[in-house]
């Protein structure tokens, strides 16, 4: 791909991941166009479109003359009652994704990278999920991401083109508003009790590595649909908590809740018809969430560059600053 043809559109460009994709794309020599509902800063090096991905006319205009799109816009980290409303997520993650992919294909875009999530696989234990694993999403967010993938695939089937679906493991780093940031805050305030022994494993990826993966996926010419998990090697919860505590300069929490007690309480709550949020959080904390990134690594010679310790150091310093 010559320099003159490296025309990239990034949706969700002011977001946690999207903003980093823009920075790295500019550094790599892409001509960058950005699309977002509200861009917080102005960059003279990029062409800016401000609007909603539901606006199909504006979306088509933003895609004109573009050779590749990274669709990073999406809805996540919604709390309270809204977190249980599928309509809120579907409007953005399903219908919005369909709008972006359709507009891109009708504008002649040759390659679309769709940022998805490993949450589409649903909860699992004692197994490593790869791209052949069945998708059984449970919560509204995960279901909407899965439906977004299906919408995009349907567009490709009808119109042709190339689509790369990138199912990201939990992304963390500066500006994170998700589980890792909340864990850091809880540990910093001393509001953390160990559920279980911390030997279960989690897949994470630092935001720079996730952004690099998005750009790397555009380097090789492809056709049709390809799906990849993107993750760093899995680590135990004990390792994650220890790394955070060391960076915070705090001792690791000593107080623990036996996993057997958590399971018993969860079973009782389920029997009584009450799957409370607290129990769900405990269950999520103590289960394995491991995803293989081997297929993407071997296809693109991709290796995450930022270790867990370094990534945690950067996020903690950012939060404390």
- We report the CATH number of the domain holding residue 140 as 3.40.50.720
Location of structure tokens 């990849």: 228
| Spans in the chain with pLDDT lower than 70 | 1-5, 40-42, 77-84, 125-126, 259, 262-263, 265-282
pTM above 0.75, yes or no: yes
Alpha-carbon distance of 79 to 281, in angstroms, equals 13
Residues 141 and 146: their CA atoms lie apart, in Å, by: 9
For residue 189, being part of any structural domain is answered with no
Cα separation, 213 vs 207, in Å, equals 10
The three-state DSSP-derived secondary structure of the chain is CCHHHCEEEEECCCCCCHHHHHHHHHHCCCEEEEEECCCCCCCCCCEEEECCCCCHHHHHHHHCCCCEEEECCCCCCCCHHHHHCHHHHHHHHHHHHHHHHHHHHHCCCCEEEEEEEHHHHCCCCCCEECCCCCCCCCCHHHHHHHHHHHHHHHHHHHHCCEEEEEEECEEECCCCCCHHHHHHHHHHHCCCCEECCCCCEECEEEHHHHHHHHHHCCCCCCCEEEEEEECCCCEEHHHHHHHHHHHHCCCCCCCEECHHHHHHHHHHHHHCCCCCHHHHHHHHHHCCEEECCHHHHHHHCCCCCCCHHHHHHHHHHHHHC
pLDDT of residue 88: 85
285 inside domain:
no
19 found inside a domain: yes
Q: Is the distance from CB of 176 to CB of 233 less than 8 angstroms?
A: no
What would you report as the CA-atom Rg of the chain, rounded to the nearest whole angstrom? 20
Q: Which residues are catalytic?
A: 141
Report yes or no on 59 lying in a domain.
yes
Q: What is the pLDDT of residue 195?
A: 80
Full domain range(s) for residue 214: 3-176+204-232+290-304
Question: 132 in a domain, yes or no?
Answer: yes
Q: Let me know if residue 280 belongs to a domain.
A: no
Tens digit of each residue's pLDDT (9 = 90 or more) over 158-201: 999 999 999 999 999 999 988 999 999 999 998 888 887 889 99
Question: pLDDT (tens digit, 9 = 90+) per residue, 206-248?
Answer: 999 999 999 999 987 788 999 999 999 999 999 999 999 999 9
Strand order in the sheet with 111-117: 47-50, 31-36, 7-11, 68-71, 111-117, 162-168, 224-230
pLDDT for 3: 45
- Give which of 19, 24, 20, 63 is closest to 38, Cα–Cα: 19
181 is a domain residue:
no
If one counts the domains in the chain, the total is: 1
Residue 271: its pLDDT value, please?
63
Residue 282 covered by a domain? no
């Amino acid at each position: 791909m010559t320099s003159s043809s490296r025309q990239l559109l990034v949706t969700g460009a002011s977001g946690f991941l999207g903003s980093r994709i823009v920075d790295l794309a500019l550094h790599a020599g892409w001509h960058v166009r950005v699309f977002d509902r509200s861009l917080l800063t102005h960059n003279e090096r990029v062409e800016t479109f401000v609007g909603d991905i539901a606006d199909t006319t504006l979306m088509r205009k933003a895609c004109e003359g573009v050779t590749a799109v990274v669709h990073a816009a999406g809805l996540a980290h919604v709390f309270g009652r809204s977190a249980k409303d599928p309509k809120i997520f579907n409007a953005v993650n399903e219908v919005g994704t369909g709008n972006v992919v359709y507009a891109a294909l009708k504008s002649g875009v040759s390659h679309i990278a769709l940022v998805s999530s490993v949450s589409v696989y649903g909860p699992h234990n004692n197994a490593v999920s790869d791209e052949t694993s069945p998708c059984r999403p449970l919560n509204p967010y995960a279901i909407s991401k899965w439906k977004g993938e299906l919408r995009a695939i349907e567009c490709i089937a009808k119109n042709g083109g190339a689509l790369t679906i990138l199912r990201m493991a939990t992304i963390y780093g500066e500006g994170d508003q998700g589980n890792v940031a909340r864990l850091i805050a809880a540990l910093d305030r001393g509001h953390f009790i160990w559920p279980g022994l911390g030997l279960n494993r989690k897949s994470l990826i630092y935001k720079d590595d996730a952004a690099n993966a998005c750009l790397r996926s555009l380097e090789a010419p492809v056709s049709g649909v390809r799906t990849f998990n993107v993750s760093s090697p899995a680590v135990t919860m004990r390792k994650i908590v220890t790394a955070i505590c060391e960076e915070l300069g705090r001792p690791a929490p000593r107080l623990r809740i036996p996993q057997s007690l958590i399971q018993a309480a969860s079973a009782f709550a389920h029997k009584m018809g009450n799957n409370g949020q607290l129990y769900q959080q405990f269950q999520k904390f103590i289960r394995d969430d491991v995803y293989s990134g081997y297929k993407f690594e071997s296809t693109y010679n991709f290796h995450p560059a930022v270790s867990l310790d370094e990534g945690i150091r950067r996020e903690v310093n950012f939060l404390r600053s």
